[in-house]
A = this chain, B = another copy of it.
């Protein structure tokens, strides 16, 4: 196999989490990569068994080199059905999910699946008195901003980039087993200013809190007087988190130390800091990626 082969990434989305809406764009933000093809099949906000059974086979017809399942709570029957499917094929598969998935980590490992579990990707405040399409979109907007600024989306695309690189090199694939928590942000971030990092961590902690509150408001509280204030409170926290994240990013702008890592046309990892300078290939990280695949 050679460096020039094109990797085909198959994405299956059932239900929605914060990273779902922009996932495919992360790996090819400039729409110029010549080394990958992305195909997505999705079932909207629904994640029933029948949705999966009808939709998933279409994705396999694209003959993907790598399958990514993005879904909340992969333990429930619909997404679980996807995982069973993945077992039957020989296509390497990764599950990207929210904090609820933490419970089935062992199971995922047994099934030979990679996973990226994002602890700060929270449940939405899904109560009919509160959630309409607009509120839903705003919530996603806020969560996307937090996941972007804190570097969660960076981790996400670099994991896929690494797999793509390994597949292109024809090396043995080790699938990621990642739980993205505040520590991950603390220990793996591009922030140059420590207060910016602290604010980003704070933003992430807030989205984790959102998850806890919305879970209670959606599943435990039965009385409207009780759950409406809770979902409203959770979405206010999401908005506060987005502001904190924005503030963190502004700090880096203020000293022109904001790190950017675009993809080259060939899919190489580029990196840059000063705004007016061009990005350069990050050979070090590329080398590490390939190394990690070696025994």
> A-side interface residues toward B, CB under 8 Å?
9, 11, 13, 15-16, 21-22, 24-31, 37-47, 51, 54-55, 58, 61-62, 126, 128-138, 140-142, 144-145, 147-149, 151, 153-154, 157, 182-183, 186, 193-195, 197-199, 201-202, 205-206, 208-209, 213, 224-226, 228-230, 232-237, 239-240, 242-244, 246, 249, 251, 253-256, 258, 260-264, 270, 272, 274-279
Smallest beta-carbon distance A69→chain B, Å = 15
Smallest beta-carbon distance A119→chain B, Å = 13
* A261 CA / B130 CA spacing, docked (Å): 9
Q: Is A276 a contact of B39 with CB atoms below 8 Å?
A: no
| Contact partner, A255, options B55, B237, B255, Cβ 8 Å | B255
Q: Is A137 a contact of B133 with CB atoms below 8 Å?
A: no
CB-defined contacts of A274 to chain B, threshold 8 Å? 194
CB-defined contacts of A22 to chain B, threshold 8 Å? 21, 136-137, 140
* A128 CA / B142 CA spacing, docked (Å): 25
CB-defined contacts of A233 to chain B, threshold 8 Å? 182, 186, 198-199, 201-202, 205
| Contact partner, A229, options B198, B225, B237, Cβ 8 Å | B198
* A255 CA / B253 CA spacing, docked (Å): 11
Q: What residue in chain B is nearest A200 (Cβ atoms)?
A: B233
